[in-house]
Structure 1
Amino acid sequence: MSSPVRLRAALLAPAVILTALATAPAARAVEVAPSTPQIDTLERINRTGVIRLGHRESSIPFSYMDRSTGRPIGYAVDLCTRVVANLRRDLKRPELKIEWVQVAAADRIPALLDGRIDLECGNTTNTAERRQKVAFTVPHFLTGAKILSKKAVGIDNLDELEGKRVAVTKGSTGEALVKEQAKMRRNAPQPVPVKDNAEAFATVDKNAADAFITDDILLLSFKANANNPADWQLNARMLSVEPLAMAMRRDPAWQKLVDAAMTRIIVDGEINAIYNKWFMQPTPPRNVVLNVPMSPLLRASFVAPSANPAF
Protein backbone atom coordinates (compact mmCIF):
# COMPACT_ATOMS: atom_id res chain seq x y z
CA MET A 1 0.00 0.00 0.00
CA SER A 2 1.28 3.44 -0.81
CA SER A 3 1.93 6.09 1.82
CA PRO A 4 -1.23 8.02 2.79
CA VAL A 5 -1.63 11.33 1.03
CA ARG A 6 -2.83 13.83 3.62
CA LEU A 7 -4.89 16.79 2.56
CA ARG A 8 -6.12 19.77 4.49
CA ALA A 9 -9.81 20.52 4.05
CA ALA A 10 -10.48 24.00 2.79
CA LEU A 11 -13.67 24.53 4.80
CA LEU A 12 -15.50 27.77 5.48
CA ALA A 13 -15.79 29.06 9.05
CA PRO A 14 -19.02 27.89 10.69
CA ALA A 15 -20.41 31.42 10.93
CA VAL A 16 -19.95 31.95 7.21
CA ILE A 17 -21.61 28.64 6.43
CA LEU A 18 -24.53 29.45 8.71
CA THR A 19 -25.07 32.70 6.83
CA ALA A 20 -24.92 30.88 3.51
CA LEU A 21 -27.32 28.21 4.70
CA ALA A 22 -29.81 30.85 5.70
CA THR A 23 -29.69 32.56 2.31
CA ALA A 24 -29.08 29.76 -0.21
CA PRO A 25 -32.32 29.29 -2.19
CA ALA A 26 -31.37 25.82 -3.44
CA ALA A 27 -30.89 24.53 0.09
CA ARG A 28 -33.67 26.36 1.97
CA ALA A 29 -36.29 24.11 3.52
CA VAL A 30 -39.80 24.53 2.19
CA GLU A 31 -43.04 22.84 3.14
CA VAL A 32 -44.26 20.63 0.32
CA ALA A 33 -47.53 18.75 0.66
CA PRO A 34 -46.79 15.02 0.46
CA SER A 35 -48.18 13.23 -2.54
CA THR A 36 -49.75 9.78 -2.43
CA PRO A 37 -46.99 7.27 -3.25
CA GLN A 38 -47.59 5.17 -6.33
CA ILE A 39 -45.59 2.37 -4.72
CA ASP A 40 -46.27 1.03 -1.23
CA THR A 41 -42.62 0.57 -0.29
CA LEU A 42 -43.14 -1.40 2.90
CA GLU A 43 -45.69 -3.72 1.29
CA ARG A 44 -43.26 -4.55 -1.48
CA ILE A 45 -40.33 -5.04 0.91
CA ASN A 46 -42.41 -7.35 3.10
CA ARG A 47 -43.62 -9.26 0.05
CA THR A 48 -40.24 -9.64 -1.70
CA GLY A 49 -37.88 -9.66 1.28
CA VAL A 50 -35.61 -7.23 -0.62
CA ILE A 51 -34.60 -3.58 -0.09
CA ARG A 52 -33.22 -1.95 -3.24
CA LEU A 53 -30.42 0.50 -2.58
CA GLY A 54 -29.09 2.84 -5.26
CA HIS A 55 -25.34 3.47 -5.41
CA ARG A 56 -23.12 5.59 -7.62
CA GLU A 57 -20.16 4.52 -9.74
CA SER A 58 -17.54 7.12 -8.86
CA SER A 59 -18.66 9.51 -6.10
CA ILE A 60 -15.61 9.04 -3.88
CA PRO A 61 -15.75 8.81 -0.85
CA PHE A 62 -19.55 8.65 -0.60
CA SER A 63 -20.58 5.93 -3.02
CA TYR A 64 -18.40 4.20 -5.59
CA MET A 65 -17.38 0.84 -6.98
CA ASP A 66 -14.51 -1.08 -5.44
CA ARG A 67 -12.96 -2.55 -8.59
CA SER A 68 -11.15 -5.23 -6.58
CA THR A 69 -14.39 -6.71 -5.22
CA GLY A 70 -17.01 -5.47 -7.67
CA ARG A 71 -19.07 -4.10 -4.76
CA PRO A 72 -20.17 -0.57 -3.87
CA ILE A 73 -18.36 1.11 -0.97
CA GLY A 74 -18.27 4.52 0.68
CA TYR A 75 -19.56 6.69 3.50
CA ALA A 76 -23.16 6.80 2.22
CA VAL A 77 -23.04 3.09 1.35
CA ASP A 78 -22.02 2.23 4.92
CA LEU A 79 -24.76 4.47 6.32
CA CYS A 80 -27.38 2.85 4.09
CA THR A 81 -26.19 -0.58 5.18
CA ARG A 82 -26.64 0.45 8.83
CA VAL A 83 -30.10 1.84 8.05
CA VAL A 84 -31.07 -1.56 6.63
CA ALA A 85 -29.70 -3.28 9.75
CA ASN A 86 -32.00 -1.07 11.83
CA LEU A 87 -34.95 -1.76 9.52
CA ARG A 88 -34.44 -5.52 9.85
CA ARG A 89 -34.87 -5.08 13.59
CA ASP A 90 -37.79 -2.63 13.41
CA LEU A 91 -39.69 -4.75 10.88
CA LYS A 92 -38.75 -8.00 12.65
CA ARG A 93 -37.39 -9.28 9.34
CA PRO A 94 -33.75 -10.28 9.98
CA GLU A 95 -33.65 -12.10 6.63
CA LEU A 96 -34.22 -8.95 4.53
CA LYS A 97 -31.72 -8.80 1.67
CA ILE A 98 -30.07 -5.82 0.00
CA GLU A 99 -30.14 -5.49 -3.78
CA TRP A 100 -27.63 -2.91 -5.00
CA VAL A 101 -28.61 -0.96 -8.13
CA GLN A 102 -26.19 1.44 -9.83
CA VAL A 103 -27.66 4.84 -10.67
CA ALA A 104 -26.25 8.04 -12.15
CA ALA A 105 -26.91 11.67 -11.24
CA ALA A 106 -29.29 12.01 -14.18
CA ASP A 107 -31.50 9.01 -13.31
CA ARG A 108 -31.33 8.72 -9.51
CA ILE A 109 -34.64 10.58 -8.96
CA PRO A 110 -36.47 8.66 -11.74
CA ALA A 111 -35.10 5.42 -10.26
CA LEU A 112 -36.82 6.23 -6.97
CA LEU A 113 -40.07 7.26 -8.62
CA ASP A 114 -40.38 4.19 -10.84
CA GLY A 115 -39.40 1.76 -8.07
CA ARG A 116 -36.02 0.61 -9.33
CA ILE A 117 -34.60 1.65 -5.94
CA ASP A 118 -36.09 2.32 -2.49
CA LEU A 119 -33.29 4.46 -1.05
CA GLU A 120 -30.51 6.38 -2.82
CA CYS A 121 -27.12 6.03 -1.14
CA GLY A 122 -24.94 8.68 -2.73
CA ASN A 123 -24.10 12.37 -2.49
CA THR A 124 -27.44 13.92 -3.41
CA THR A 125 -28.16 17.49 -2.34
CA ASN A 126 -31.45 18.16 -0.58
CA THR A 127 -32.89 20.99 -2.69
CA ALA A 128 -36.34 22.58 -2.83
CA GLU A 129 -36.74 21.48 -6.46
CA ARG A 130 -35.97 17.85 -5.65
CA ARG A 131 -38.27 17.89 -2.61
CA GLN A 132 -41.14 18.43 -5.03
CA LYS A 133 -40.53 14.88 -6.27
CA VAL A 134 -38.83 12.90 -3.49
CA ALA A 135 -38.15 13.00 0.23
CA PHE A 136 -34.84 13.18 2.10
CA THR A 137 -33.76 11.79 5.43
CA VAL A 138 -31.43 13.49 7.94
CA PRO A 139 -28.43 15.15 6.20
CA HIS A 140 -25.19 13.20 6.65
CA PHE A 141 -22.78 15.80 5.21
CA LEU A 142 -22.60 19.54 4.52
CA THR A 143 -20.63 20.63 1.49
CA GLY A 144 -20.55 23.22 -1.29
CA ALA A 145 -19.59 23.49 -4.94
CA LYS A 146 -16.04 24.41 -5.94
CA ILE A 147 -13.97 24.52 -9.11
CA LEU A 148 -11.21 22.01 -9.87
CA SER A 149 -8.77 22.84 -12.65
CA LYS A 150 -5.18 22.20 -13.61
CA LYS A 151 -2.73 24.71 -12.14
CA ALA A 152 -1.64 25.56 -15.66
CA VAL A 153 -5.17 26.86 -16.29
CA GLY A 154 -5.57 28.27 -12.79
CA ILE A 155 -9.28 29.06 -12.43
CA ASP A 156 -10.02 30.54 -9.01
CA ASN A 157 -13.50 32.08 -9.28
CA LEU A 158 -16.66 32.24 -11.38
CA ASP A 159 -15.44 35.27 -13.35
CA GLU A 160 -12.50 33.24 -14.62
CA LEU A 161 -14.91 30.65 -16.06
CA GLU A 162 -16.00 33.07 -18.78
CA GLY A 163 -15.52 31.43 -22.16
CA LYS A 164 -14.15 28.28 -20.53
CA ARG A 165 -15.32 24.69 -21.04
CA VAL A 166 -16.71 23.33 -17.76
CA ALA A 167 -17.25 19.60 -17.19
CA VAL A 168 -20.47 18.91 -15.27
CA THR A 169 -22.28 15.72 -14.35
CA LYS A 170 -25.72 15.52 -15.95
CA GLY A 171 -28.49 16.16 -13.42
CA SER A 172 -26.16 17.65 -10.79
CA THR A 173 -26.35 20.95 -8.94
CA GLY A 174 -23.00 21.77 -10.58
CA GLU A 175 -24.66 21.58 -13.99
CA ALA A 176 -27.45 23.89 -12.79
CA LEU A 177 -24.89 26.38 -11.45
CA VAL A 178 -22.98 26.54 -14.74
CA LYS A 179 -26.19 26.96 -16.75
CA GLU A 180 -27.21 29.81 -14.45
CA GLN A 181 -23.83 31.49 -14.94
CA ALA A 182 -24.15 31.07 -18.71
CA LYS A 183 -27.38 33.11 -18.64
CA MET A 184 -25.75 35.92 -16.67
CA ARG A 185 -22.54 36.40 -18.62
CA ARG A 186 -21.81 37.82 -22.05
CA ASN A 187 -18.87 35.45 -22.56
CA ALA A 188 -20.68 32.44 -21.18
CA PRO A 189 -18.96 29.33 -19.80
CA GLN A 190 -19.62 26.28 -21.97
CA PRO A 191 -21.06 23.28 -20.09
CA VAL A 192 -19.57 19.93 -21.08
CA PRO A 193 -22.17 17.45 -19.75
CA VAL A 194 -20.96 13.94 -18.91
CA LYS A 195 -22.57 10.88 -17.29
CA ASP A 196 -20.66 10.76 -13.98
CA ASN A 197 -17.98 12.38 -11.84
CA ALA A 198 -15.15 10.12 -13.02
CA GLU A 199 -15.84 11.06 -16.63
CA ALA A 200 -15.96 14.75 -15.68
CA PHE A 201 -12.53 14.53 -14.05
CA ALA A 202 -11.15 12.55 -17.01
CA THR A 203 -12.49 15.19 -19.39
CA VAL A 204 -10.44 17.88 -17.65
CA ASP A 205 -7.46 15.56 -17.28
CA LYS A 206 -7.26 15.05 -21.07
CA ASN A 207 -7.79 18.80 -21.68
CA ALA A 208 -11.24 18.36 -23.25
CA ALA A 209 -12.53 20.78 -20.59
CA ASP A 210 -10.88 23.52 -18.55
CA ALA A 211 -12.57 22.91 -15.20
CA PHE A 212 -14.89 20.62 -13.26
CA ILE A 213 -17.56 21.92 -10.85
CA THR A 214 -19.15 19.74 -8.16
CA ASP A 215 -19.12 19.24 -4.37
CA ASP A 216 -15.80 20.29 -2.85
CA ILE A 217 -15.32 16.99 -0.99
CA LEU A 218 -15.62 15.03 -4.24
CA LEU A 219 -13.10 17.33 -5.90
CA LEU A 220 -10.70 16.86 -2.97
CA SER A 221 -10.98 13.11 -3.51
CA PHE A 222 -10.32 13.32 -7.25
CA LYS A 223 -7.33 15.61 -6.68
CA ALA A 224 -5.94 13.29 -4.00
CA ASN A 225 -6.30 10.23 -6.23
CA ALA A 226 -4.84 11.88 -9.34
CA ASN A 227 -1.55 10.60 -10.74
CA ASN A 228 0.02 13.98 -9.92
CA PRO A 229 -2.09 15.77 -7.27
CA ALA A 230 0.26 18.76 -7.30
CA ASP A 231 -0.80 19.51 -10.89
CA TRP A 232 -4.33 20.36 -9.74
CA GLN A 233 -5.93 23.21 -7.82
CA LEU A 234 -9.22 23.89 -6.06
CA ASN A 235 -10.55 27.41 -5.87
CA ALA A 236 -10.58 28.88 -2.37
CA ARG A 237 -14.21 29.89 -1.96
CA MET A 238 -17.36 27.75 -1.97
CA LEU A 239 -19.86 28.66 -4.67
CA SER A 240 -22.87 27.16 -2.86
CA VAL A 241 -23.81 25.38 0.35
CA GLU A 242 -25.38 21.94 0.02
CA PRO A 243 -26.72 19.47 2.61
CA LEU A 244 -26.26 15.90 1.38
CA ALA A 245 -28.77 13.21 2.38
CA MET A 246 -30.25 9.90 1.30
CA ALA A 247 -33.22 10.34 -1.01
CA MET A 248 -36.36 8.18 -1.01
CA ARG A 249 -39.90 8.13 -2.39
CA ARG A 250 -42.51 10.37 -0.80
CA ASP A 251 -44.11 7.49 1.10
CA PRO A 252 -44.93 8.58 4.72
CA ALA A 253 -44.68 5.14 6.34
CA TRP A 254 -41.36 4.41 4.60
CA GLN A 255 -40.02 7.89 5.39
CA LYS A 256 -40.85 7.50 9.07
CA LEU A 257 -38.95 4.21 9.35
CA VAL A 258 -35.88 5.46 7.45
CA ASP A 259 -35.79 8.73 9.44
CA ALA A 260 -35.98 6.81 12.72
CA ALA A 261 -33.19 4.45 11.64
CA MET A 262 -30.92 7.31 10.51
CA THR A 263 -31.63 9.29 13.67
CA ARG A 264 -30.69 6.27 15.79
CA ILE A 265 -27.37 5.91 13.94
CA ILE A 266 -26.58 9.55 14.70
CA VAL A 267 -27.81 9.69 18.31
CA ASP A 268 -26.08 6.42 19.25
CA GLY A 269 -22.81 7.79 17.85
CA GLU A 270 -22.39 5.11 15.18
CA ILE A 271 -22.01 7.79 12.54
CA ASN A 272 -18.79 9.09 14.12
CA ALA A 273 -16.86 5.87 13.43
CA ILE A 274 -18.30 5.66 9.91
CA TYR A 275 -17.33 9.28 9.23
CA ASN A 276 -13.78 8.77 10.52
CA LYS A 277 -13.39 5.64 8.40
CA TRP A 278 -14.03 7.55 5.17
CA PHE A 279 -12.66 11.02 5.89
CA MET A 280 -9.84 10.47 8.39
CA GLN A 281 -8.37 7.06 7.43
CA PRO A 282 -6.85 5.52 4.27
CA THR A 283 -9.50 4.60 1.70
CA PRO A 284 -9.50 2.78 -1.65
CA PRO A 285 -8.43 2.88 -4.36
CA ARG A 286 -5.10 4.59 -3.53
CA ASN A 287 -4.91 4.47 0.25
CA VAL A 288 -5.58 8.21 0.40
CA VAL A 289 -6.38 10.00 3.66
CA LEU A 290 -8.59 13.00 2.94
CA ASN A 291 -8.03 14.40 6.46
CA VAL A 292 -11.38 16.21 6.63
CA PRO A 293 -12.54 16.37 10.28
CA MET A 294 -16.26 16.65 10.89
CA SER A 295 -17.16 20.34 10.65
CA PRO A 296 -18.57 22.11 13.73
CA LEU A 297 -21.77 22.81 11.80
CA LEU A 298 -22.33 19.17 10.86
CA ARG A 299 -21.56 18.07 14.41
CA ALA A 300 -24.05 20.64 15.73
CA SER A 301 -26.72 19.38 13.34
CA PHE A 302 -26.30 15.88 14.80
CA VAL A 303 -27.28 17.12 18.28
CA ALA A 304 -30.93 17.30 17.19
CA PRO A 305 -31.17 15.30 13.92
CA SER A 306 -33.97 16.35 11.60
CA ALA A 307 -35.10 15.31 8.14
CA ASN A 308 -36.36 18.89 7.74
CA PRO A 309 -33.39 21.02 8.78
CA ALA A 310 -33.53 24.80 8.46
CA PHE A 311 -31.01 24.82 5.63
Structure 2
Amino acid sequence: MHKLSIPSLALAAVAALSAGLAHADQLADIKQRGSLVCGTLGIAEPFSFPNPQTREIQGYDVDFCAALAKSLGVKLEVKMVAVPARIPELQQGRVDVLAANLGWTPERAQEIAFSDGYYVSLTKVATRRVDGYKKPADLSGKRVAAAKGSTSEAGARKVIPNVTTVTYQDPPAVFLALQQGKADGIAVSELVLVKWQKEVQATAPIDILEPELFSEPWGIGVRKSEPAMLKQVNEVLESMEKSGEATRIFDRWLGTGTTYDMRRGFKIEPIKG
Protein backbone atom coordinates (compact mmCIF):
# COMPACT_ATOMS: atom_id res chain seq x y z
CA MET A 1 0.00 0.00 0.00
CA HIS A 2 1.32 3.43 -0.94
CA LYS A 3 2.04 5.65 2.07
CA LEU A 4 2.14 9.44 2.10
CA SER A 5 5.18 11.03 3.71
CA ILE A 6 4.71 13.36 6.66
CA PRO A 7 5.29 16.48 4.49
CA SER A 8 2.81 15.16 1.93
CA LEU A 9 0.22 14.59 4.63
CA ALA A 10 0.77 18.09 5.98
CA LEU A 11 0.46 19.63 2.54
CA ALA A 12 -2.73 17.65 1.84
CA ALA A 13 -4.25 18.78 5.15
CA VAL A 14 -3.41 22.42 4.46
CA ALA A 15 -4.87 22.18 0.95
CA ALA A 16 -8.06 20.59 2.23
CA LEU A 17 -8.39 23.20 4.96
CA SER A 18 -7.80 26.04 2.51
CA ALA A 19 -10.39 24.67 0.11
CA GLY A 20 -12.89 24.34 2.93
CA LEU A 21 -12.31 27.89 4.09
CA ALA A 22 -12.59 29.25 0.56
CA HIS A 23 -15.88 27.44 0.08
CA ALA A 24 -17.18 28.49 3.49
CA ASP A 25 -16.41 32.20 3.14
CA GLN A 26 -19.36 33.26 1.02
CA LEU A 27 -18.83 36.97 1.67
CA ALA A 28 -15.28 36.79 0.33
CA ASP A 29 -16.48 34.86 -2.73
CA ILE A 30 -19.13 37.52 -3.45
CA LYS A 31 -16.61 40.35 -3.12
CA GLN A 32 -14.16 38.56 -5.38
CA ARG A 33 -16.89 37.92 -7.94
CA GLY A 34 -18.06 41.52 -7.70
CA SER A 35 -21.77 40.76 -7.56
CA LEU A 36 -24.49 39.58 -5.18
CA VAL A 37 -27.01 37.18 -6.74
CA CYS A 38 -30.38 37.79 -5.11
CA GLY A 39 -33.29 35.46 -5.85
CA THR A 40 -36.67 37.19 -6.28
CA LEU A 41 -39.99 36.16 -7.80
CA GLY A 42 -39.98 38.89 -10.45
CA ILE A 43 -43.76 38.68 -10.95
CA ALA A 44 -44.99 39.82 -7.54
CA GLU A 45 -45.76 43.54 -7.64
CA PRO A 46 -44.85 45.61 -5.66
CA PHE A 47 -42.11 43.36 -4.26
CA SER A 48 -40.36 42.32 -7.47
CA PHE A 49 -41.71 43.01 -10.95
CA PRO A 50 -40.59 44.41 -14.31
CA ASN A 51 -40.28 48.15 -14.78
CA PRO A 52 -42.69 48.96 -17.64
CA GLN A 53 -40.06 51.04 -19.46
CA THR A 54 -36.75 49.30 -18.80
CA ARG A 55 -38.07 45.76 -18.08
CA GLU A 56 -35.57 45.57 -15.22
CA ILE A 57 -36.88 43.90 -12.08
CA GLN A 58 -37.74 46.44 -9.39
CA GLY A 59 -39.68 46.63 -6.14
CA TYR A 60 -39.62 46.39 -2.35
CA ASP A 61 -37.62 43.15 -2.22
CA VAL A 62 -35.18 44.40 -4.86
CA ASP A 63 -34.47 47.57 -2.87
CA PHE A 64 -33.46 45.47 0.13
CA CYS A 65 -31.25 43.32 -2.09
CA ALA A 66 -29.67 46.49 -3.47
CA ALA A 67 -28.91 47.76 0.04
CA LEU A 68 -27.20 44.47 0.89
CA ALA A 69 -25.14 44.56 -2.31
CA LYS A 70 -24.12 48.16 -1.57
CA SER A 71 -22.97 47.18 1.92
CA LEU A 72 -20.65 44.62 0.33
CA GLY A 73 -19.38 47.03 -2.32
CA VAL A 74 -20.61 44.88 -5.21
CA LYS A 75 -23.23 45.16 -7.95
CA LEU A 76 -26.63 43.54 -7.62
CA GLU A 77 -27.63 40.67 -9.89
CA VAL A 78 -31.32 39.78 -9.66
CA LYS A 79 -32.32 36.24 -10.55
CA MET A 80 -35.97 35.30 -10.93
CA VAL A 81 -37.05 32.14 -9.11
CA ALA A 82 -40.38 30.31 -8.99
CA VAL A 83 -42.19 29.93 -5.67
CA PRO A 84 -41.60 26.16 -5.28
CA ALA A 85 -37.97 26.50 -6.45
CA ARG A 86 -36.96 29.27 -4.03
CA ILE A 87 -35.35 27.15 -1.33
CA PRO A 88 -33.72 24.62 -3.68
CA GLU A 89 -32.18 27.47 -5.69
CA LEU A 90 -30.64 28.82 -2.48
CA GLN A 91 -29.52 25.45 -1.13
CA GLN A 92 -27.86 24.53 -4.43
CA GLY A 93 -25.94 27.79 -4.54
CA ARG A 94 -27.62 29.25 -7.61
CA VAL A 95 -28.44 32.39 -5.60
CA ASP A 96 -26.61 33.95 -2.67
CA VAL A 97 -29.71 35.09 -0.78
CA LEU A 98 -33.48 35.03 -1.22
CA ALA A 99 -35.76 38.07 -1.01
CA ALA A 100 -38.77 36.40 -2.57
CA ASN A 101 -41.95 36.82 -0.52
CA LEU A 102 -40.48 34.21 1.80
CA GLY A 103 -42.70 33.75 4.84
CA TRP A 104 -41.17 32.13 7.92
CA THR A 105 -42.46 28.67 8.84
CA PRO A 106 -40.98 26.08 11.23
CA GLU A 107 -40.51 23.71 8.28
CA ARG A 108 -38.61 26.25 6.19
CA ALA A 109 -36.53 27.24 9.19
CA GLN A 110 -35.26 23.65 9.30
CA GLU A 111 -33.98 24.00 5.75
CA ILE A 112 -32.56 27.53 5.59
CA ALA A 113 -31.68 30.43 7.88
CA PHE A 114 -33.99 33.44 8.05
CA SER A 115 -32.93 37.01 8.63
CA ASP A 116 -34.87 39.36 10.86
CA GLY A 117 -38.34 40.04 9.52
CA TYR A 118 -38.28 42.90 6.99
CA TYR A 119 -41.98 42.69 6.11
CA VAL A 120 -45.15 41.32 7.71
CA SER A 121 -47.75 39.93 5.35
CA LEU A 122 -51.46 39.27 5.89
CA THR A 123 -52.84 36.41 3.85
CA LYS A 124 -56.53 36.68 3.01
CA VAL A 125 -59.13 34.97 0.87
CA ALA A 126 -60.89 36.63 -2.06
CA THR A 127 -63.98 35.46 -3.93
CA ARG A 128 -66.12 36.65 -6.83
CA ARG A 129 -68.65 39.17 -5.53
CA VAL A 130 -71.50 37.47 -7.38
CA ASP A 131 -70.97 34.33 -5.26
CA GLY A 132 -71.84 36.19 -2.05
CA TYR A 133 -69.28 34.68 0.34
CA LYS A 134 -68.79 36.73 3.52
CA LYS A 135 -66.00 35.01 5.47
CA PRO A 136 -63.36 32.35 4.79
CA ALA A 137 -65.33 29.67 6.65
CA ASP A 138 -68.09 30.04 4.03
CA LEU A 139 -65.75 28.24 1.63
CA SER A 140 -65.97 25.01 3.62
CA GLY A 141 -66.01 22.13 1.16
CA LYS A 142 -65.14 24.45 -1.74
CA ARG A 143 -62.04 24.90 -3.93
CA VAL A 144 -59.47 27.51 -2.95
CA ALA A 145 -56.50 28.25 -5.21
CA ALA A 146 -53.03 29.25 -4.02
CA ALA A 147 -49.50 29.44 -5.39
CA LYS A 148 -47.71 26.10 -5.41
CA GLY A 149 -45.32 25.78 -2.49
CA SER A 150 -46.72 28.86 -0.69
CA THR A 151 -47.79 29.17 2.92
CA SER A 152 -51.15 30.37 1.63
CA GLU A 153 -52.06 26.84 0.58
CA ALA A 154 -51.21 25.42 4.01
CA GLY A 155 -53.03 28.30 5.72
CA ALA A 156 -56.21 27.69 3.74
CA ARG A 157 -56.18 23.99 4.63
CA LYS A 158 -55.62 24.80 8.28
CA VAL A 159 -58.29 27.49 8.67
CA ILE A 160 -61.09 26.54 6.25
CA PRO A 161 -62.94 23.31 7.14
CA ASN A 162 -62.94 20.57 4.49
CA VAL A 163 -61.43 22.85 1.87
CA THR A 164 -59.91 21.51 -1.33
CA THR A 165 -56.81 23.43 -2.34
CA VAL A 166 -55.69 23.68 -5.95
CA THR A 167 -52.27 25.09 -6.74
CA TYR A 168 -50.81 27.09 -9.61
CA GLN A 169 -47.32 28.22 -10.48
CA ASP A 170 -47.64 31.87 -9.46
CA PRO A 171 -50.13 34.49 -8.16
CA PRO A 172 -51.30 35.69 -11.62
CA ALA A 173 -52.23 32.09 -12.51
CA VAL A 174 -54.08 31.81 -9.20
CA PHE A 175 -56.14 34.90 -9.99
CA LEU A 176 -56.89 33.63 -13.49
CA ALA A 177 -58.23 30.41 -11.97
CA LEU A 178 -60.74 32.45 -9.94
CA GLN A 179 -61.79 34.49 -12.97
CA GLN A 180 -62.29 31.34 -15.06
CA GLY A 181 -64.33 29.61 -12.37
CA LYS A 182 -61.72 26.93 -11.70
CA ALA A 183 -61.70 27.94 -8.02
CA ASP A 184 -64.32 29.34 -5.65
CA GLY A 185 -61.77 31.43 -3.78
CA ILE A 186 -58.08 32.30 -3.74
CA ALA A 187 -55.64 32.65 -0.85
CA VAL A 188 -52.98 35.27 -1.52
CA SER A 189 -51.21 38.19 0.17
CA GLU A 190 -53.57 41.04 1.05
CA LEU A 191 -51.50 43.49 -0.99
CA VAL A 192 -51.88 41.47 -4.16
CA LEU A 193 -55.62 41.16 -3.55
CA VAL A 194 -56.02 44.92 -3.03
CA LYS A 195 -54.39 45.61 -6.39
CA TRP A 196 -56.48 43.02 -8.21
CA GLN A 197 -59.65 44.26 -6.55
CA LYS A 198 -59.09 47.75 -7.94
CA GLU A 199 -58.24 46.45 -11.41
CA VAL A 200 -61.44 44.40 -11.83
CA GLN A 201 -63.84 46.56 -9.83
CA ALA A 202 -65.80 47.69 -12.89
CA THR A 203 -65.89 44.39 -14.77
CA ALA A 204 -65.77 41.39 -12.45
CA PRO A 205 -65.55 42.62 -8.84
CA ILE A 206 -64.07 40.51 -6.08
CA ASP A 207 -64.51 40.64 -2.30
CA ILE A 208 -61.64 40.31 0.17
CA LEU A 209 -62.98 38.31 3.08
CA GLU A 210 -62.33 38.94 6.77
CA PRO A 211 -60.73 37.89 9.00
CA GLU A 212 -57.34 37.13 7.48
CA LEU A 213 -56.21 33.52 7.35
CA PHE A 214 -52.94 34.37 9.11
CA SER A 215 -50.11 36.87 9.32
CA GLU A 216 -46.52 35.94 8.63
CA PRO A 217 -43.15 37.68 8.87
CA TRP A 218 -40.97 37.56 5.79
CA GLY A 219 -37.24 37.09 6.10
CA ILE A 220 -34.31 37.11 3.72
CA GLY A 221 -33.23 33.52 3.17
CA VAL A 222 -29.61 32.49 3.72
CA ARG A 223 -27.98 29.07 3.63
CA LYS A 224 -27.59 27.57 7.11
CA SER A 225 -23.88 27.07 6.42
CA GLU A 226 -23.32 30.83 6.03
CA PRO A 227 -23.51 32.48 9.49
CA ALA A 228 -21.31 35.38 8.36
CA MET A 229 -23.76 36.18 5.56
CA LEU A 230 -26.70 36.02 7.97
CA LYS A 231 -24.89 38.39 10.33
CA GLN A 232 -24.20 40.79 7.45
CA VAL A 233 -27.84 40.74 6.33
CA ASN A 234 -29.15 41.42 9.83
CA GLU A 235 -26.68 44.25 10.39
CA VAL A 236 -27.81 45.88 7.14
CA LEU A 237 -31.47 45.47 8.06
CA GLU A 238 -30.88 46.95 11.52
CA SER A 239 -29.08 49.91 9.98
CA MET A 240 -31.92 50.45 7.50
CA GLU A 241 -34.47 50.44 10.29
CA LYS A 242 -32.50 52.96 12.37
CA SER A 243 -31.79 55.30 9.46
CA GLY A 244 -35.38 55.29 8.24
CA GLU A 245 -34.42 53.75 4.90
CA ALA A 246 -36.66 50.73 5.56
CA THR A 247 -39.63 53.04 6.13
CA ARG A 248 -38.84 55.01 2.98
CA ILE A 249 -38.79 51.80 0.94
CA PHE A 250 -42.15 50.79 2.39
CA ASP A 251 -43.65 54.19 1.61
CA ARG A 252 -42.24 54.14 -1.92
CA TRP A 253 -43.91 50.87 -2.87
CA LEU A 254 -46.81 50.47 -0.45
CA GLY A 255 -47.54 53.79 1.23
CA THR A 256 -49.79 56.80 0.67
CA GLY A 257 -50.15 57.64 -2.99
CA THR A 258 -49.49 54.09 -4.18
CA THR A 259 -52.08 51.56 -5.32
CA TYR A 260 -52.04 50.05 -1.82
CA ASP A 261 -52.24 53.21 0.32
CA MET A 262 -50.95 51.43 3.44
CA ARG A 263 -49.21 52.45 6.63
CA ARG A 264 -46.24 50.57 7.98
CA GLY A 265 -47.42 48.82 11.13
CA PHE A 266 -44.27 46.83 11.92
CA LYS A 267 -40.56 47.24 12.55
CA ILE A 268 -37.64 45.09 11.46
CA GLU A 269 -36.98 42.69 14.31
CA PRO A 270 -35.98 39.06 14.91
CA ILE A 271 -38.59 36.50 13.89
CA LYS A 272 -39.96 34.67 16.89
CA GLY A 273 -40.46 31.04 16.00
- TM bracket (short chain): 0.7 to 0.9
For structure 1, the residue ranges without an aligned partner over 5 or more in a row are 1-37, 89-95, 284-288
Deviations 1:54-99 (A, max 9, x none): 11132222122234322111111112212211222xxxxxxx2222
Per the normalisation by structure 2, the TM-score is 0.84
Is 2:245 aligned against 1:310?
Answer: no
Amino acid at match of 1:265: M
- Relative to its length, the structure with more helix (as a share) is 2
- Specify the SS of the correspondent of 1:106: helix
Equivalences for residues 21-170 of structure 1 within 5 A = 40-88=25-73, 96-170=74-148
Aligned to 1:15: none
In structure 1, distance between residues paired with 2:230 and 2:260: 32
Aligned to 1:5: none
RMSD across aligned positions (CA): 2.2
For structure 2, the residue ranges without an aligned partner over 5 or more in a row are 1-22
Aligned to 2:207: 233
Instruction: Name the count of aligned residue pairs.
Output: 251
In structure 2, distance between residues paired with 1:157 and 1:163: 14
Deviations 1:197-246 (A, max 9, x none): 11111111222211110222222222233363871110121111211222
Per the normalisation by structure 1, the TM-score is 0.74
Question: Out of 153, 161, 175, which is 2:153 matched to?
Answer: 175
Amino acid at match of 2:69: V
CA 1:67 to 1:270, structure 2 compared with 1: closer, same or farther past 3 Å? same
- Specify the SS of the correspondent of 1:117: coil
- Specify the SS of the correspondent of 2:111: coil
In structure 2, distance between residues paired with 1:114 and 1:247: 13
In structure 1, distance between residues paired with 2:195 and 2:219: 19
Question: Out of 246, 249, 258, which is 1:271 matched to?
Answer: 246
Deviations 1:22-54 (A, max 9, x none): xxxxxxxxxxxxxxxx86422421332221011
199-208 vs 65-74, which moves further: 65-74
In structure 1, distance between residues paired with 2:243 and 2:59: 20
201-210 vs 152-161, which moves further: 152-161
Amino acid at match of 1:69: T
1:61 and 1:221 in contact (8 A); partners too: no
- Specify the SS of the correspondent of 1:131: helix
Identity %: 27
Task: Please say which structure displays the higher CA radius of gyration.
Answer: 2
